[in-house]
Amino acid sequence: MTIEFLELQSPEELKGTNHPYVVFQHDQEKMKVQIPTTERIVLNVLDRSSCLLLSVREHNSIKNDNLGEVVIHYQDVPEVESTEAFILKDRKKLSERRRSQPKKSPFLSRKLLIRYRFYSYDPLITLLVSKELTLVRSFLSTNLTDAVSRAIVSFLVKQNLIETLLRDTLKKEVENTKAPQQLFRVDTSAIRMLHGYIHWTVGPWLRAILGEHVQQIIENPKGYEVDFRYESDEEAIKKNGENLKFCAIKFLCDIVYKGNVMCPNNIRSLCYLIAEAVKKKFPESGPKGVGGIIFLRCICRALVNPQVHLIDDEPSEEARRSLSLVSKIILNVANGMQFDKEEFMRQYNPLVEDFIPKINSFLKDISQEPNGIIGIPTFVQNTRTIIDHLDLIINHMVTNKEKVLKFLLAVDSGLDEGEEDRDRENLSVSGAVLLEKGDKGEEEKKENKGNEEKKEKG
């Protein structure tokens, strides 16, 4: 399939016929004869054209064999995460094809998905990797989603800047914590950024130390309930109590011993960064800070949501409940706290006391400074994936333009003399783009609201 420009409403922006966007091939995902297909079309949406008319042709067709056309308004593109669908307007040839082959034509409801040219991201990439990760740090003042956090982490891993991000994120989180008991307890944007890194790194390690025991509970989820509200048989509760105790011991032993031996360098590096950041403000709480991430945010979260890293399908309600009870014991050991409020869990306080020193030793061991630089997660990133992640970052910038702009435009005192003009230019360009997109969106909202009010009055 070939896409050609037929007409441009702002021709002064693309003069001549040698512009790289005059003719290009699309990146086709699927092509089946009897199923409408979806194409990803690459356009430079940073051009300021208000409207562009494209022609869609078949590869082996003659030059005038047009299958359809589509009108694309640039201002509509950035706000829809590059997934805006545009239905082709039928032309005569397409209408004839529809009448002759109404059920087999793959062109009856063809849609186009708008994409960016990769080099159009250069200003954004320059800002993302700029000195001290200024743009990335501005995101910590916004409401980050898990998807955006993972996109940022993925991009910085590719740029070998992940250690800088982790240091800045941990520093901000610790500075905003008033007491060591509160470390990493609140779901802040900094914590979500850490989750983004953890998401890419902990899977193999968690499966190695937890996978076998989790699978046993998934296959045989009954026999662990110890709460009299859910199990009225006293004999069953007593037996279940022993089962849960034995199960928790197996988990804890593998975490302490196997978890230490099999802990990869990237996890050790993260634990070291956590301990160092915490000790600067709370000198005696380095291991406790590491436990807040490794247990609360990693191991115990994986147990209550095993479908994320440990199993392929959603667990049954019984299995989820059993894993939750195991998680309670493990978390109390990590926190160094006995059970008090939940009477049915007090029977495990001796177990908690027995494993507290073992867990503290485990946390201390994996928090030692590793040899070499921070381990880089081993996940594949192709150009498509990178662009998808940059799209998420762009849309997050647009959604939070006021906070991001305020942060960006205030940063100029720390720039080196040779970099100052270039970085300020990038800041101003990015700021202008954000403002333009935001203003257009507000104008459209006001216009739509006005039209609705007129209809209601009419």
CATH label of the domain that carries residue 311 = 1.10.506.10
Q: Which tokens is 269 given?
A: 């590096």
Span 400-425, average pLDDT: 61
Confidence (pLDDT) at 108: 31
Q: Which helix (H) or strand (E) holds 105?
A: none
Looking at 81, 116, 151, which one is the last position of a domain? 116
Is position 375 within any domain?
A: no
**Domain-terminating residue out of 101, 116, 131:** 116
Residue 424 domain flag = no
Residue 373 lies in a domain: no
Question: What is residue 319's predicted lDDT score, i.e. its pLDDT?
Answer: 95
Q: Is residue 390 part of a domain?
A: no
163 or 30, which is more confident? 163
At 276-307, the pLDDT tens digits run: 999 999 988 888 899 989 999 899 999 999 99
Say what the pTM is.
Answer: 0.65
* Least trusted range by pLDDT, from 33-42, 168-177, 343-352: 33-42
Q: Does any domain span residue 137? A: yes
Co-location of 169 and 313 in the same domain: yes
Is 50 exceeded by the pLDDT of residue 182?
yes
Domain with 350, as residue range(s), is 123-366
Q: Are 136 and 278 within one domain?
A: yes
Cα–Cα distance between 279 and 170 in angstroms, integer? 12
Q: Could you write out the three-class secondary structure of 254-316? A: HHHHHHHHCCCHHHHHHHHHHHHHHHHHCCCCHHHHHHHHHHHHHHHHHHHCCCCCCCCCCCC
Whether residues 51 and 137 share a domain: the answer is: no
- Per-residue pLDDT, averaged over 366-384, amounts to 63
pLDDT, position 409: 73
Both 165 and 233 in a single domain? yes
Question: Same domain for 128 and 247?
Answer: yes
Does residue 360 share a domain with residue 309?
yes
Residues 290 and 208 in one domain: yes
- Domain end among 59, 86, 116: 116
Residues 104 and 141 in one domain: no
Does residue 199 sit in the same domain as residue 254? Answer: yes
Is 331 inside a domain boundary?
yes
50 contacts 26 by C-beta, under 8 angstroms:
no
Confidence tier at 200 by pLDDT (50, 70, 90): confident
Chain centroid, CA 161 distance in Å: 17
Residue 349 lies in a domain: yes
> Is 384 a domain residue?
no
Residues 309 and 186 reside in one and the same domain? yes
pLDDT at 93 over 90: no
Q: State the total domains in the chain.
A: 2
pLDDT reading at 447 higher than 60: no
Mean pLDDT of 98-103: 41
Residue 457 host element (H or E): helix 420-457
- If one counts every other C-beta atom within 10 angstroms of the C-beta of residue 155, the result is 24
Q: Are residues 226 and 170 in the same domain?
A: yes
The pair phi, psi for residue 41, each rounded to 5°, is: -100, 130
Range scoring the smallest mean pLDDT among 223-227, 236-240, 376-380: 376-380
Average pLDDT, stretch 162-171? 87
